[in-house]
Amino acid sequence: MIRIALIGCGRIGQMHAANLDRHNRTELSMVFDADQQSAQTVARTFGVQSVNSAEEIFSSSNVDGVLIASVTSTHADFIEMCVAAGKPVLCEKPIDLDLDRVNRCAQKISGTTVPVQIGFNRRYDPGHSSAREAVLAGEIGELHQVIITSRDPEVPPRAYLEAAGGLFRDMTIHDFDLARFMLGEEPTEVFAIANALIDPKLGADLNEVDSAMFILRTDSGKQCHINNSRTAVYGYDQRVELMGSNGMLISDNRKPNEVRRYSKHGVEKASPYEFFFIERYSEAFMACLNGFVDCIEKSAPPLSSFEDGRRALVLAETAYRSLHERRLVRVSEVD
């Protein structure tokens, strides 16, 4: 069993703690949170030790790896500390909201052999990943177009939005990563539009948006569309469509069961989609942990690396420039 320490015991941290506990290749070894009460609650729930400083984790011989789920602004620091301590690290996205900070972190850890994995869980989803494998196996010939539909069931609380760094860095970042993963080539051009359609006050108060559309393109001409919304009242909407010269693949939404309902009010009604990312990507979170264990045990490179985390942020920055300059922006202008 690989012993993983957890840094950050908020909502996502608690989910990770439960997953580490449940996973048949990992065990939760100790937890840390700047808010000691949060840490102690999680520690009690899973019968593990709560430590008073992150350093205790880095110096412990009972820790084979570290999962970072603390607030975003601490990610880069913790990654650097983990690498310095030789502890493999699985860090939640985004690495940081500031590309400069990410680049400095990249420099600092450059050349290390300590595995650093970024938690882009969607790469590990059974549906999305089997679609990607089918493309790699040539099932649809040459890939031409990728369409990513990614919509949240509701607008997050104002407090969350104020700290989140903007829709592109907080929400679309997953889709930018998925676009890169699916395209199999680096997107080199980005175009974006965005509006505050659901809650116009978001725009007025926070300069934030809630609905967006993107077009990305690679140098070979592969095209990608992403559409985002924060108000899919029908449920968390996560679809990927891959169009190629010889066919198409769609990785569609997941339901908890295959019950369909028929009444005066409608036919073939499906069970509601999984509520949100924790439910929808539950298998993916576990598979992501599995990948992390492989990194540690087999020194395998992570499926979602630090550089993947950095590039997704670069795409977000490029998209913001496109939004402001109303034009197709080359990624190289930003990176």
What is the closest distance, in whole angstroms, from the C-beta atom of residue 330 to a second copy in the complex? 9
What is the closest distance, in whole angstroms, from the C-beta atom of residue 309 to a second copy in the complex? 25
What is the closest distance, in whole angstroms, from the C-beta atom of residue 238 to a second copy in the complex? 10
Residue 13: Cβ within 10 Å count:
23
Q: Is 326 left (phi over 0), alpha (psi -120 to 50) or beta?
A: left
Residue 302: Cβ within 10 Å count:
22
Q: How far apart are CA 275 and CA 279, in angstroms?
A: 6
Give the helix/strand (H/E) hosting 244: strand 237-244
What is the closest distance, in whole angstroms, from the C-beta atom of residue 315 to a second copy in the complex? 16
Name residue 87's amino acid.
K
Residue 4 binds to a second copy (criterion: CB under 8 A)? no
Give the helix/strand (H/E) hosting 50: strand 49-50
Binding test (CB under 8 A) with a second copy, winner from 78, 120, 168, 273: 273
Residue closer to a second copy by CB (options 76, 190) is 190
Spatial neighbors of 185 by CB under 8 A, at least 6 apart, are 218, 219, 220, 222
Token pair, residue 8, equals 């950050």
Restricted to residues 74-93, the positions that interact with a second copy (CB under 8 A) are: none
What is the closest distance, in whole angstroms, from the C-beta atom of residue 318 to a second copy in the complex? 14
Restricted to residues 202-231, the positions that interact with a second copy (CB under 8 A) are: 211-213, 215, 217, 221-223, 225, 227, 229, 231
Residue 47 binds to a second copy (criterion: CB under 8 A)? no
Residue closer to a second copy by CB (options 264, 298) is 264
Residue closer to a second copy by CB (options 4, 54) is 4
Restricted to residues 141-200, the positions that interact with a second copy (CB under 8 A) are: 142, 144-145, 147, 149, 151, 189, 191, 193, 195-198
Q: 170, 177, 178: which is closest to 152 by C-alpha?
A: 170
Residue 103 binds to a second copy (criterion: CB under 8 A)? no
Pairing relation of β-strands 116-118 and 223-229? unpaired
Binding test (CB under 8 A) with a second copy, winner from 94, 235, 302, 309: 235
Restricted to residues 304-333, the positions that interact with a second copy (CB under 8 A) are: 326-328
Residue 44 binds to a second copy (criterion: CB under 8 A)? no
Residue closer to a second copy by CB (options 126, 184) is 126
What is the closest distance, in whole angstroms, from the C-beta atom of residue 195 to a second copy in the complex? 4
The answer to whether the CB of 153 falls within 8 A of the CB of 235 is: yes
**φ, ψ (nearest 5 deg) of residue 275:** -60, -55
What is the closest distance, in whole angstroms, from the C-beta atom of residue 66 to a second copy in the complex? 23
Site string for a second copy, 249-268 (x = CB under 8 A): xxxxxxxxxxxxxxxx-xxx
What is the closest distance, in whole angstroms, from the C-beta atom of residue 202 to a second copy in the complex? 12
Separation in Å, CA 58 to CA 17, 24, 103: 18, 24, 23
Spatial neighbors of 198 by CB under 8 A, at least 6 apart, are 155, 210, 211, 229, 230, 231
Chain centroid to CA 16: 14
Residue closer to a second copy by CB (options 31, 286) is 286
Restricted to residues 11-30, the positions that interact with a second copy (CB under 8 A) are: 21-22, 24
SS3 214: strand
